[in-house]
């Protein structure tokens, strides 16, 4: 199974990227720069005419929206190592996981950087 994730690092699609990365999933990444309008690129519009991220291509078949991708990953046991979710997972369980992860992402983005992260 070949997985390709289209996402924008400054959007909520980062949750999907973090989940797949932490789960150790084998996937390729196609980041899109919204500032340059890469989400309007004809190649991407063929995949998702709504020009939104995240999009997970599963053997070249697109799966759209964070919740749908999280549910699919949980049902495929891709996320079981890091989340404890496996098998027939309820949307409520995945929804609460997404809310938790979004909170973590926003805390990372909004919190002041330690001095060691700052450029000199």
Instruction: Cite the active site residues.
Output: 11
CA dihedral 92, 97, 99, 100 (to 10 degrees): 140
Give the separation between CA 27 and CA 42, rounded to whole angstroms.
22
Q: CB of 23 within 8 A of CB of 81? A: yes
């Amino acid at each position: 199974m070949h997985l390709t994730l289209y996402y924008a690092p400054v959007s909520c699609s980062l949750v999907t990227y973090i989940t797949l990365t932490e789960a150790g999933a084998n996937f390729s990444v196609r980041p899109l720069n919204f500032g340059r309008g890469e989400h309007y690129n004809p190649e991407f519009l063929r995949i998702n005419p709504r020009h939104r991220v995240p999009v997970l291509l599963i053997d070249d078949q697109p799966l759209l929206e964070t919740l749908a991708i999280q549910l699919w990953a949980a049902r495929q046991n891709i996320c079981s190592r890091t989340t404890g979710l496996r098998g027939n997972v309820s949307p409520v369980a995945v929804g609460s996981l997404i809310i938790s992860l979004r909170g973590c992402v926003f805390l990372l983005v909004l919190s002041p950087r330690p001095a060691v992260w700052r450029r000199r």
